[in-house]
Chain A
Amino acid sequence: MPLLEFTSKGIYCKKAAVYLDPWRAVDKALISHGHSDHARWGSKHYITQEINVPILKHRLGAISVSSKKYGEVFSINGVRFSFHPAGHVPGSSQIKVEYKGEVWVFTGDYKTQPDGISTPFESVKCHTFITECTFGLPVFQWEEPKKVHQKINEWWADNRTNGTTSLLMGYSLGKIQRLLKHLDPSIGKIYTHGATEQMTQVLRSFIHFPETELITKDTSKKEIQGQLVLAPPAVLGSAWSKKLGPLSTGYASGWMAFRGARRRRAVDRAFVLSDHADWKGLLNAIKASGCEKVITTHGYTDLFAQYLREHGWDAATEKTQYEGETLETTLAE
């Protein structure tokens, strides 16, 4: 029997009777990170890396949760588990599962580029590597993040000169804080949408960020003119964003590499910035793990697995309910 199985409730370790990122309520769930397609509501007990604890509590309310440090090994019925940095968002972890010398690693979501706020991705040797491949197509080749952040600051500075307010959108957990971390506060003041502000507050206990101010009913258009507003993508075209006055809209996502996606989003500026590994990042992570077997879980799973098979890996695809970075909405936050 394989150490980990793909069941209707999630990835299951029978020997230890625990699930990894289950999509149904279970007794015991090991959680890779705080995005809603990985950390779902309703399980009796959660075990996760310590940074994820306040994130999970913020999202799921009063839950029973125990916290682990990166690299800390704990055993359940003889199976050894540990969390290792996945570099996706703060707290995100690969989950290592070891039993009688056989090692499996479940990546959750990950990226190999450092982002300045998440503990950088750390390669873990294993036999079987369960990997996401949200951007598992060769057209995805991320630019150096430094350059992207520079473009964002230039865009903001230009808008400021023109008296336009910059509305910068991204996922509330991870992307927004990554953007915030690299904004240049000398350009102006940074405001936030409610959803964005709350999650940022949760993370402030671990990470230092520039100051932000929540937009409330009392915030005047005049006050925010030329400043920058951070918000989730769902606000685009909403009544909330219309109240901000003349805007230049910006959106940061890996999907913005596609011209069609940029045009569909219809923002003024699209920034290609993702918290997932690109094509080369995925391939490098797989090589570095030294694995023989790869299981692809979400993204361009079939194509990626076929490519891996042609290059000597024993690769297969399993169906899961993870969504990775979605193009359309904020579902997977």
Chain B
Amino acid sequence: MRRFASLIETLDSTNKTNAKVAALTHYFKEAPPEDALWAVALLSHRRPSRPVSTTQMRVWAAELVQLPEWLFEETYHIVGDLAETIALLVQQEKKGNTPALSECIEEIIAVKSKDEAEKKTYILEQWKSLNTFERFVFNKILTGGFRIGVSQKLMTRALSEAIQIEENILAHRLMGQWSPQQTTFKQLLLEPNPEDQISQPYPFFLAHAMENDFENKFDVTNWHVEHKWDGMRAQLIVRKGSSFLWSRGEELITDKFPELACLATALPDGTVLDGELIPFKEGKIGDFNGLQKRIGRKMITVKLKEEVPVVLMLYDILEWEGKDIRALPLHQRQKYLSALYQQVKNDNLPLLLSQVMTFTSWVEVANERKKATEKRSEGLMLKHKDSPYGVGRKKGNWWKWKSDPKTIDAVLTYAMRGHGRRTNLYTDYTFGLWEKEELVTFAKAYSGLTDSEIKKVDQYVKKNTLDRFGPVRQVKPELVFEIAFEGLAPSSRHKSGVAVRFPRILRWRHDKKSDEANSLEDLKKLLP
């Protein structure tokens, strides 16, 4: 625990990638394998299930440090992180033997089945015997989510340096469902059993946003163009008569899409496909909101399945006849994919093939991009015809050329304190659009401003507060911002009647007064 806490502290206190990799590599080399495995698990968001609720933690902490609950809550809102708040409030009473990371987690797992009194005794005991940063890390293990700027890729790189196994092989071994409770460092990383691998997905290959001036840099005839379908990226695996569906976030989502189960027998064994899950009903692509409904539900009812049927729009083939063919050039993989699709397709099969287009000029490509809204895509994907299927987000072979975002001018109405590096600053904003004399909330956004703009808005918020609701302040509706978003759809869940996707602040409209901002009516005109 001490070693792991010190690793997290080091990772947390630098923003230099090399320093992070060095710290991780050092840890993986030095730590006992059972600790190293848990470190890998925690850093890839695999944590033991939560033994106590955050409410219990809040109440116990307030009681322990003898603070009224209201002050504890206010303090928590200012600090912005429960784990950190408790770490700072509680004082170390005695220095004991700090347990190893794996021991500590075993204790956490064991305490889950105990009664409340025993849980409380255990948690308080830990809080009192750890130092401030260890207490913070302990709380993070309890509540989940480290957010310390260590991506899966960075961790894999360090692990690769430590155990001298190639990065992409490790990336593969680390994917999927595993838990340190069921495996060991050696088993998972050093000697994987091929039998365990049938559900293992390949790492996704991701595209970068198109660079400027590409028309002059690239020869259009080298590029295969597809629409960037507006759904959820997924990987379908068919091996040994079973099918597995993985999301890009490495979640196994097979059970959420029962209509794809038939593919286990429809497709030959040893097939892995990359595609996009999209809502598709009566020959038409539906809107993204429907899909989100399906992802959000724990149980997929027959009704919901009928309301929002889903198909897999195929982009690529990664494994064919049991062989990893990611290294083959794209045009060849697309030939295999097309042949496979023609061979299996029928009207009842939930599969579509994303059309591959070639052009002779960039002007034609730009014209195709303009059809995105009509075709219900987010824009275009450009893939080099000879490109292999890579790992992660790499520049050069795959580009996304999204449609220009839609924008609207809205008024800042509420502000909330930020989290993480924006703690103690008002950085999370709510925006409204006019409906008659009233501002109706239409979106929340927090990204898009520079640090110096954030500072100015923060000062404005502090000086122009009309009302307070816990961490939220209602502000004088005077500041106007241009908000960009990817798409919009009617929604009964939003007060405005419209849901926008990925709203963010494009710029601060210093030139506009609040009565010059757009109306809700204006927004509704943008609905497809």
Contacts and interface: CB of A to CB of B under 8 A. Distances in A.
B221 interface: no
Contacts of A328: 455
Interface in B26-85: 65, 67-68, 70-71, 74-75, 78-81, 84-85
Interface string B432-465: 0000000000000000000100010000000000
B421 A263 contact: yes
Interface residues of A, number: 24
A258 B75 contact: no
B208 interface: no
Interface stretch (A92-100, A134-142, A157-165): A134-142
A262 interface: yes
Contacts of A125: none
A260 B13 contact: no
Interface residues of B, number: 30
B412 to A, nearest CB: 20
Nearest to B79: A139
Contacts of B79: 139, 258, 260
Interface in A295-321: 300, 303, 306-307, 310
Interface in A250-272: 257-264, 266, 268-270
B71 A138 contact: yes
Interface string B419-439: 111111000000000000000
Given A137-B78, A139-B85, A259 B71 contact: no
A263 B423 CA distance: 10
B14 A268 contact: yes
A327 interface: yes
Contacts, number: 65
A105 B170 CA distance: 66
Contacts of B14: 268
B89 A260 contact: no
Interface in B74-106: 74-75, 78-81, 84-85, 88-89, 91
A270 B13 contact: yes
B12 to A, nearest CB: 7
Contacts of B71: 138, 303, 306-307
Contacts of B455: 328
Nearest to A327: B424
Contact of A138 (B67, B136, B424, B451): B67
Nearest to A266: B15
A138 B81 contact: no
A263 B67 CA distance: 28
Contacts of A140: 88
Nearest to A300: B78
Given A269-B13, A270-B13, A260 B422 contact: yes
Given A268-B13, A270-B13, A259 B84 contact: yes
Nearest to B83: A259
Contacts of B91: 141
B88 A263 contact: no
Contacts of B84: 258-259
A24 B424 CA distance: 29
Interface in B380-427: 418-424
Nearest to A264: B421
Contacts of B70: 306
B88 A260 contact: no
Given A268-B13, A328-B455, A138 B65 contact: yes
Nearest to B418: A260
Contact of A261 (B68, B75, B419, B423): B423
Given A139-B75, A268-B13, A258 B68 contact: no
A327 B451 CA distance: 13
Contacts of A270: 13
A259 B453 CA distance: 22
Contacts of A269: 13
Contacts of B68: 307, 310
22 contacts: A138-B71, A139-B75, A139-B78, A139-B79, A139-B85, A139-B89, A257-B88, A258-B79, A259-B81, A259-B84, A259-B423, A260-B419, A261-B424, A262-B13, A264-B421, A264-B451, A266-B15, A303-B71, A303-B74, A306-B71, A310-B68, A327-B424
Interface of B: 12-15, 65, 67-68, 70-71, 74-75, 78-81, 84-85, 88-89, 91, 136, 418-424, 451, 455
Interface of A: 137-141, 257-264, 266, 268-270, 300, 303, 306-307, 310, 327-328
